[in-house]
A and B are shown apart, each in its own frame.
Chain A
């Protein structure tokens, strides 16, 4: 019988597979351990980021035009809905300002420094997005120079979209919450139920349903569809009170022992042109 591969080819393929699997697993492990990549990688990424910024200008313009046309088609119904909400919004804004002032003065009286809800923001522009199967990451135009650190939460539009996963000198990568890796979406959240809060962490993302999953919930507090989910601030790096999404359903886990809460993210993970990085004042100290 004629051999398809020679013995030498088979040995080469086996060695190559072992090396590549080792390289993938090793660099994944290393990326999780370190805050910033090694100098050469950082230098290369900064250089690539510069080129990418130039190339992003026309393609982003085309993308923006396509999105604008899409938005135009929804304008009429959207305008009607927004009009009904705007009075409520103005009232809430005034109330928020009053409460913020009251909060600041009470903190002063108690001689409290920064708390979990205090954070500064750094605005950034998306210059690229990884065209990859997994780990869809954004590249933003702010990095170490602007005080960004690995793990900081990134917001866009209505709520949180992800966390900083790698910081270079002039740019940084953002791992989106739709990513299932641990550094992307394992953050502490809280849900305001009717009988009290339910605390926990995001344990997974279901890409087939586009939902965040808060697993292993043993609390008896009632949670229903439509309840709001926000960050709890536990853990220190992510400030409290950042909107995450709304509860879509509550199910039993695979063993029937605890509850699993399915959450629809508030932010649109498709169109992300500008982002805001929340720098916790507690984490920064």
Chain B
């Protein structure tokens, strides 16, 4: 493999995806005082944000995208929870919903952010339902929507908006 091939999207994309998986955990740990200040429970979901960019900028045609989605879900389950299935399903269903929406919506920034918003809600709802299966859920749906879904969506959509054009340029460069 020549050196220039290392700068291709199919190489750079999964490395950044893996990196962001750990960044999410580090942010949660480093900023835990702010993110989990009672009664809030805010999650940094940069990993899903990176998957959103791939869907929005049609990068799935350049690489084995679904394989990366499943692998990152399995790794997330293994490292963060030790219970397999929950986050793999959450990542897969969120990306599947975003892809279906992408077919319907146009390419504008606001349409993209709306797609990410729906993807995030799907992601969080899957994890909420999985909590009932494993018997660890302790919060009613209203409190969950108010104190977790709403702030998480606001934070992550804002981050996605800030990174939108730089990431678009990066994808153009790497193609």
Contacts and interface: CB of A to CB of B under 8 A. Distances in A.
A35 interface: no
A196 interface: no
B57 to A, nearest CB: 24
Given A37-B82, A166-B82, A180-B136, A62 B43 contact: no
Contacts of A51: 18, 22
Contacts, number: 174
A20 B134 CA distance: 12
A256 interface: no
A66 B31 contact: yes
Interface in B56-98: 75, 77-89
B79 A59 contact: no
Interface string A119-150: 00000001111111111111100000000000
A158 interface: no
Nearest to A55: B22
B32 A204 contact: no
Interface in B120-175: 124, 127-128, 130-131, 133-140, 143-144, 148
Contact of A126 (B29, B33, B87): B29
A56 B34 CA distance: 17
A129 B82 contact: no
Given A31-B83, A129-B29, A270-B36, A181 B78 contact: no
Contact of A206 (B26, B41, B138): B138
B43 A131 contact: yes
A127 B27 CA distance: 10
Query: Which range contains the number of B residues in contact with the other chain?
Result: 35 or more
Contacts of A133: 41, 43, 124, 127-128, 131, 144, 148
A127 B37 contact: no
Interface stretch (A22-30, A74-82, A96-104, A108-116): A22-30
A51 B110 CA distance: 35
A52 B33 contact: no
B122 to A, nearest CB: 13
Interface residues of A, number: 59
Question: Which of A20, A64, A131, A272 gathers most chain B CB within 10 Å?
Answer: A131
A131 B80 contact: yes
Nearest to B44: A131
A165 B37 CA distance: 23
Interface in B9-44: 18-19, 22-39, 41, 43-44
B45 interface: yes
A208 B134 contact: no
Contacts of A41: 78, 82
A131 B137 contact: no
A131 B82 contact: no
B46 to A, nearest CB: 9
Question: Which of A20, A61, A127, A205 gathers most chain B CB within 10 Å?
Answer: A20
A251 interface: no
Given A66-B34, A128-B29, A180-B137, A23 B84 contact: yes
Given A25-B133, A51-B22, A63-B29, A269 B36 contact: yes
Contacts of A62: 30-31
Contacts of B139: 207-208
Given A24-B130, A63-B30, A48 B44 contact: no
Interface in A37-51: 37, 41, 44-45, 48-49, 51
B133 A271 contact: no
10 contacts: A51-B18, A59-B29, A60-B26, A63-B29, A129-B29, A129-B32, A135-B83, A208-B143, A210-B38, A270-B36
Interface of B: 18-19, 22-39, 41, 43-45, 75, 77-89, 124, 127-128, 130-131, 133-140, 143-144, 148
Interface of A: 20-21, 23-25, 27-28, 31, 37, 41, 44-45, 48-49, 51-52, 55-56, 59-64, 66-67, 70, 126-139, 165-166, 173, 179-181, 204-208, 210, 268-273
Given A55-B19, A180-B135, 8 more contacts: A21-B133, A51-B22, A59-B29, A66-B33, A131-B80, A180-B136, A180-B137, A207-B41
